Amino acid sequence: MTLTGTRPEPTTAAVAPRLSVIVITKNEAARLPTCLASVAFADELIVVDASSTDNTSDLARSFGARVIITTDWPGFGLQKQRALDAATGDWVFCIDADEWLDDSLAAAIRQLTRAPLASAPAAHYSVGRMSAFCGQWMRAGSWYPDRGIRLFKRGSARFSPDLVHERLLLDGSAGKPSELPGLLLHNSITGLHDAVDKMNRYSSGRAADLHARGRRSGVGRAVGHGLWAFFRGYMLRRGFLDGRLGFVLAVLDGQASYFRYLKMWLADRPTPHELPHPDQR
């Protein structure tokens, strides 16, 4: 006897979304392992390296990263866009080499990016960041909680072409960003030399970005912005709660703003190749 019946339809297992993590590097061998270890659950790691002279690239490859080496430096925005262009995942998370995820943030990202893509309540997600300054975690002032968008659906955002302080330019039709729990931990400035060096480099880059957009400045404006940056960080955002280093950081923030606007003003002043005689006015 032959049994006949309806043949069951073949089932196709749903394909889980893929997560790409992107990071740009330059001589980050000391800090990169902590960063990449915290995002080891990603389906794809993309590291765009600006021709490091240490073993940054080899370390990245040891974590399974795809390493892209560049010989020029177009600025942070365009370099990060190169990394984004190389990503193939459904989700993209952007992290810096001196950052890593705490356990709560890592769990939240895993849960969100493993669920069906269509079920995600938003296309963009912001995370809070806590940074260390000269060996102390800063829990107040201008550095905390320093929330910014880091996780997004690929194709829904691009990086601005800024030299420094790049931004994500979001697809306006994607809706309002949501917030993820947990923290991104950041250990960039370990001493005063690092702080002054970074302040000088970043104020130059930001001044060039603003000047290229037609912004102009003067000495008075530079002083005003510097004083306001200090007051906002130390008083309005309660940087005094971080003790003596909170004061030091607020002063540095004020100096960074002062030099940024002063450099914008100086960019419009002629730079003579030969100085006039001291007696000439």
- Asked whether the predicted pLDDT for residue 155 surpasses 80, the reply is yes
pLDDT tens track for 20-78: 999 999 999 999 999 999 999 999 999 999 999 999 999 999 999 999 999 999 999 99
With beta carbons less than 8 A apart as the criterion, state whether 163 and 205 touch.
yes
Three-class SS state of 124: strand
Three-class SS state of 196: helix
CA trace torsion 237, 240, 242, 244 (10° rounding): 140
pLDDT tens track for 173-202: 767 899 999 999 999 899 999 999 999 999
Structure tokens at 153: 């659906």
Angle at which helix 192-212 crosses helix 243-266, to 10 degrees, equals 40
Residue 172 confidence (pLDDT): 77
- Asked whether the predicted pLDDT for residue 13 surpasses 90, the reply is no
CA 198 to CA 59: how far, in whole Å? 25
With beta carbons less than 8 A apart as the criterion, state whether 124 and 152 touch.
yes
**pLDDT tier at 278 (50, 70, 90 boundaries)?**
confident
- Asked whether the predicted pLDDT for residue 12 surpasses 80, the reply is no
pLDDT tens track for 201-257: 999 999 999 999 999 999 999 999 999 999 999 999 999 999 999 999 999 999 999
Residue % of the chain over a pLDDT of 70 = 93
The residue among 227, 243, 235 whose CA lies nearest residue 138 is 243
The residue among 249, 256, 39 whose CA lies nearest residue 144 is 249
Q: What is the DSSP letter of 236?
A: I
Residue 281 confidence (pLDDT): 59
Structure tokens at 56: 């940054």
Q: What domains appear along the chain, each with residue ranges and CATH number?
A: 19-189 (3.90.550.10), 192-266 (no CATH)
